Amino acid sequence: MLHLCLHAQTSEESPALTFEQQEWNFGRIDEQDGKVSHTFHYRNTSDHFVAIERVYSSCGCTTGDYSRRPLKAGGEGTFTVIFDPEGRSGRVEKSITLVYDGGKGRTTLHIKGRVNPRPRSVADEFPYDLGGGLRSDANYRAFGNVAEGTTRSMTFALLNNSSEPMTIGVEWTTRSGALELNIPDELAPSERALATMTYAFGRGEELYGLRRDCFRLTVNGVAVEQEFNTNFIGVDNFEQGGDLSPRAEITPIYHDFGTAERGSMQSVEVAITNSGDGELVVRAVELREGTTINLKAGDRVAPGERLGCVLEYLVPELGYDVTYGGVMIVVNDPHKPVRELRVSTTVK
């Protein structure tokens, strides 16, 4: 059984709500049995009506069930904490905070327990049916930033879910030239294996910015239906930097054009200031659909100088009532090499 702990945190005065228990530990929880709960009793120890006004949880797996009605002085109430163990195997510690008495009172509840995972099916472990009897635990990997002169690897798991052996190959649809694949050539029936993807950003290569790769695996010479996508952002290797470093200050980072007509062109001036003591170099400019900017890879800003440019956004003819554009800029700023500029409009 789980013991949930309620730890009172209040302002300078004593809390208006006093709980009988401060800690509760569920102990062992079987994931397959679903949600567990415990009800806590409290008393209004103030001299006026008090209501629980807001509840904040540290995780969506932990929620509360309680009355919103004000409780009279001396009255008793209950607060039920509900924990959903789905996908939460192992030790868990979560918190939920109650705010009451006009915001003057706070009580934080800490939940503890250990979740025993339910038995996993093939579909649980390998949710992606690639086709031809081949299943995978993923069809997308994002590597994040990869520095020049370094490599980074990630894996995904494969399963031959058929009763026959299979041969595996690769068909590329988009290729950056920086991704190396190490995939098993054959899988026996019910065999599981790891495939490794490695991005290598060699020195002197023009691989700055966002680089994408897409491929399909083949089973016995036939391409499967699902496409695998992966990407990385190439940045400078700052571990080997000198004493001088640039500092990019970009304004605005976000701009709302307000209400605009579909098909109209909107524009905003963008300023890039180098507040550091080294030369700032633009390594890459990646545009979102409908967005242009008169900034390009190789543009430079001396220390203390400012570069002005104009971002233009073509409001799409179709789509949602609120639309978004933007640009990703990669610079040789060791403090923050990747910057996202975003714009939005509300369509008339």
Which residues in the chain land under pLDDT 70?
Answer: 1-13, 240-242
Whole-angstrom Cα distance, residue 148 to residue 332? 11
The CATH topology of domain 248-347 is Immunoglobulin-like (2.60.40)
Whole-angstrom Cα distance, residue 150 to residue 184? 25
CA distances, 245 to each of 37, 203, 281, 301, 317 (Å): 54, 19, 11, 12, 43
Enumerate helices (H) and strands (E) in the chain, giving the number of each: 1, 29
Whole-angstrom Cα distance, residue 147 to residue 205? 11
Whole-angstrom Cα distance, residue 95 to residue 183? 42
- Tens-digit pLDDT profile for residues 133-152: 999 999 999 999 999 999 99
Domain 2-116 in this protein, CATH class = mainly beta
In sequence order, what are the residues at sequence separation of 6 or more whose Cβ sits closer than 8 angstroms to the Cβ of residue 104? 10, 11, 13, 16
In the numeric block, which tokens belong to residue 41? 């009793």
Whole-angstrom Cα distance, residue 185 to residue 166? 8
What are the residues facing 71 on neighbouring strands?
50
Are residues 26 and 35 in contact, defined by beta-carbon separation less than 8 angstroms? Answer: no
**3-state DSSP assignment of residue 240:** helix
Whole-angstrom Cα distance, residue 273 to residue 260? 29
Buried b (16+ CB within 10 A) or exposed e, 49-81: ebbbeebebeeebbbbebeeeebeeeeebebeb
Do 123-239 and 248-347 have matching folds? Answer: yes
In sequence order, what are the residues at sequence separation of 6 or more whose Cβ sits closer than 8 angstroms to the Cβ of residue 325? 288, 289, 290, 291, 313, 314, 342, 343, 344
Whole-angstrom Cα distance, residue 190 to residue 107? 52
DSSP 110: E
Are residues 20 and 37 in contact, defined by beta-carbon separation less than 8 angstroms? Answer: no
Peptide bond into 252 cis (omega under 30): yes
Name the burial class of residue 34, with classes exposed (0-12), middle (13-18) and buried (19+) by CB atoms within 10 angstroms of its CB: exposed
pLDDT at 241: 63
Side-chain half-sphere of 61: how many Cα atoms within 13 Å? 20
The CATH topology of domain 123-239 is Immunoglobulin-like (2.60.40)
pLDDT at 135: 96
- Pairing assessment for the beta strands 76-83 and 62-66 based on DSSP bridges: antiparallel
What is the residue extent of each domain of the chain?
Answer: 2-116, 123-239, 248-347
Whole-angstrom Cα distance, residue 253 to residue 251? 5
CA distances, 4 to each of 22, 23, 113, 126, 175 (Å): 7, 5, 9, 34, 52
Nearest to 209 by CA among 292, 153, 273, 282: 282
pLDDT at 154: 96
